[in-house]
Chains A and B, each alone.
Chain A
Amino acid sequence: MPLTAVAFFVAALLFYYRGVYTAPAIPAPSPYDIQSPVLEYAAPAPELSKAAHGRAVVFDASHRNRFSPREISVLTSQIASRGYTVQIAGNFSSLSTAEHTKILESALREANSLVVISPNAAYTPEEVTLVRQFVERGGRLLLIGDPTRENQINSLADAFGIYFRSDYLYSLSDYQLNYQYIRIRDFRPDEITQGLQQISLYSASSIISDGPGLAVASDITRSSLVHQPGPYYPLVRSAAGQVVAISDSTFMVPPQDKVADNGRLVSNLASYLTQPSRRYTLSDFPEFFQGDPQVLLAQPELFADGRKLQGILTDLGVVSQMRGTEDPSRDMVFLGLFEDAPRVAQYLEPAGVRIGTHVTTPAGAFPRQEMAVLVLYRSQGRHVLVGLADTPDILSNLVDSLRPNSDFRQGVVDELVGVYPR
């Protein structure tokens, strides 16, 4: 019986169990095999010494722009270090179309450059025209998009031959911390890319432009739209160099500004924004004045008008000085009657204005009786505003029309001349 029992047991064992399971010899993953990525910080770019220009770099915040002042602090400090003021136009909230158009129009008058970051409200055709005119007059425009922040930047960028694509660039093998944080090493020589060896962008889209691409992503970088090699440009320059566009706003936010040459790029952008390239027009009064302009009167009888003009300039944030003789190194306002025109002929002729029996202007000839004209002269950064009238009373009215919220711009007939018949 024991033999039979053993035999049955063995038979059953062989019937049911025909092999032995051996667990696979796969080693357990070890945490020590994982390489933790490390950030490579670089020294920040030095800030330049101050030089008083009194000009402004305007950051648009009237189109529900998606950035905070803290995020642009590195760029604004670089701008300030170059003697420019930083103006945030708007309060980031929802505004009516009329409101943000008015804010933009006002801000552009005093701006040397305009920075637009991730606007979440579209620019109206009227606003696009304003910005285009601003750029045509030498104003510089920096467009900053960001694929992680929903925006309508193309409503403005389109006007300058620039289009931010709705993708993001990535690399699965050459990145910093995350596959969306791409490294850029290929730059086109330009003032914006001067001194750059490598920058890191933190979720950047590709930009299509009719101008040159200043930075091109490596050939292993892909677009999330097509997952194919490029070339892809996250940094471009267009509109005869007056417009620069970059598709990431995070690269300048601390501490990313200290990664690779990002700080240098911020510094280059600040230099770009603070080059005095803007051509001001008469409509930009009084923003075209630099420093403290002098007020020169053609006749002592006009003293009261001179003081009134000084008060108006003070209300507009410009400090002026009454002078008896002209200092050709400084900006100036000249007030006189038509009979004083020969004293300022050198300022009138470039604007196409002659005073004779008629007042000849680019808009036509007008009888000089009960007339007044405003003429802006600009040369090599110096601006002279000449106000001439038929009589002291009419000159006084002309000065009054320069008050804030007054209507002198209604008489402007071209960039440099305003005509004011009674």
Chain B
Amino acid sequence: MGKLAELGRQVTRWYIALPVSVAAGIALGAFVFFKIYPGQPQIGIIDIPYTVINDDSAYTIGAYLDYARDNDQIKAVVIRLNSPGGGAAASEKLYLQTRSVREKKPVVIVMTDIVASGGYMMSMGASYTYAKGSSLVGSVGVILSYPGPLLPDAPLEDVLVTGPSKLTGGSRQDWTVLLEELKQGFAQIVLTERGSKLQMAPEELMQARLYSGIEAVKLGMVDSIGDDAAGRAKAASLAGISSYGEVDVNIEVARIFVQKSRRVFALNDQEELPAFSSGSTNGQIPAETPLVSSLSDPASLRRLLLKDGRKGAESQSLPGLPLNAGLPNVYYLYVGPAQ
């Protein structure tokens, strides 16, 4: 008893109590700061290697953006982007999603080889953009692969429709008007997002030219020349953070995806999952691909769940109709001179 009382007296002495109290306070503060709120700030890194934006790839990239936006630990986002664009709606979805992330945290896009058309539209949702001097940037415009025939087709004898545009969607003029509206819409996004930074007339922008990164910076289409490190530094600066960590968003989303896949398909825990191939976006999975292997590609999983979706529309007639359902045919895409 006496020893215990002596120990109590010693502890309550200031030269012992103070350090212990400070240490405990630091530990408590550190626990609250790092484990409860707000924690060490993170920069989310999204890698988009060369990708033609379509429904599948936009789904995957959209998942990355959602994760980066909703994860409170991620205070800023850096996107490494390499895309010639693609489908119009898919590209616009990514622009809107990027813009949505920007509403909560800064988004810095670092352009690599090419960021054109729909890819450039996506970059308009960012807070700041970097290009390499040798990047290819621009191609602001629209491709409509089916403007309709010069003259309307003769009416069909064996199919009844409820309006003159039911089969075609409209006359050639209607399609041309639609094309012009989409072009203006694209231009408006660029003009609005770039604002006074843009040093070119709308007519020049509508030439749909590709520019080098150097020229794009001079014209105000891109903010600066820089690499990934510059992108991270800029993102940290815009977010007002330092000593940040990094989160590989591709990997995190893949991890969540694979976990969900295991649950959906009740996979055996001992069954080995393949490595996730980040950025795999072409979505073309051979029919004989094993189920487990196919899980490495989100597009293939979606097709398993919706296997008669778009792929069926490409090749099969609808019951009772001699027609194939048409695919979306409006693109914000740079197709290259070979086309």
- Asked whether, in the complex, the Cβ of A21 is within 8 Å of the Cβ of B239, the reply is yes
Q: Which residues of B contact A158 (CB under 8 A)?
A: none
Comparing B5-13, B176-184, B294-302, the segment that makes contact with chain A is: B176-184
Q: Which of these binds chain A: B44-52, B100-108, B251-259?
A: B100-108
Report whether B177 and A36 are in contact in the complex, using a CB–CB cutoff of 8 Å: yes
* Cα(A392)–Cα(B105), bound, Å: 108
Q: Are A28 and B150 in contact (CB under 8 A)?
A: no
Of listed A27, A29, A35, residue having the most chain B CB within 10 A: A29
Contacts of B242 in A (CB 8 A): 15-16, 18
Q: How many A-B residue pairs have CB under 8 A?
A: 122
Task: Pull 18 A–B residue pairs with CB atoms less than 8 Å apart, ordered by A.
Answer: A2-B25, A2-B28, A4-B22, A5-B24, A6-B25, A8-B25, A15-B242, A16-B38, A16-B241, A16-B244, A23-B127, A34-B188, A35-B184, A39-B177, A68-B151, A172-B203, A172-B206, A179-B206
Whether a CB of chain A sits under 8 angstroms from the CB of B40 is: yes
B151–A5 contact, CB under 8 A? Answer: no
Contact of A21 among B30, B75, B150, B180 (CB under 8 A): B75
Q: Which residues of A contact B324 (CB under 8 A)?
A: none
Q: Across the two chains, which residue of chain B brings its CB closest to A4?
A: B25
Q: Is the CB of A20 within 8 A of B240?
A: yes
B231 at the interface (CB under 8 A from A): no
Chain B hits for A29, CB < 8 A: 185, 188-189, 192
Number of interface residues of B (CB under 8 A): 50
Chain A nearest CB from B268 CB (Å) reads 42
B195 in contact (CB, < 8 A): yes
Which residues of chain B in 146-181 are interfacial with respect to chain A, using CB atoms and an 8 Å cutoff? 150-151, 171, 173, 176-177, 179-181
**Which of B29, B173, B176 has the most chain A CB atoms closer than 10 A to its own CB?**
B29
Q: Name B residues whose Cβ lies closer than 8 Å to a Cβ of A.
A: 21-22, 24-26, 28-30, 32-34, 38, 40-41, 75-76, 99, 102-106, 127, 150-151, 171, 173, 176-177, 179-181, 184-185, 188-189, 192-193, 195, 203-204, 206-207, 238-244
Complex: A18 Cα to B239 Cα, angstroms: 8
The residue in chain B whose Cβ has the minimal distance to the Cβ of A220 is B203
> How far is A35 from B185 in the complex, measured between Cα atoms in Å?
9
Contact B207–A172 (Cβ < 8 Å): yes
**Residues of the A chain whose Cβ atoms lie less than 8 Å from the Cβ of B38:** 13, 16-17
Give the 4 A-B CB pairs with smallest separation, nearest first: A19-B240, A4-B25, A8-B29, A5-B28
A interface residues with partner B (beta carbon < 8 Å)? 1-9, 12-13, 15-21, 23-24, 26-29, 31, 33-37, 39, 68, 70-71, 172-173, 177-179, 181, 250, 253-255
A24-B127, A29-B189, A172-B203 given as contacts; is B25 within 8 A of A3 (CB)?
yes
Knowing A17-B241, A18-B241, A29-B188 touch, does A12 contact B151 (C-beta < 8 A)?
Answer: no
Residue in B closest to A253 when the chains form the complex, CB atoms: B150
Q: How far does the alpha carbon of A24 sit from the alpha carbon of B127 in the complex, in Å?
A: 8
Does the CB pair A9–B33 fall under 8 Å? yes
Chain B residues within an 8 Å CB radius of A28: 99
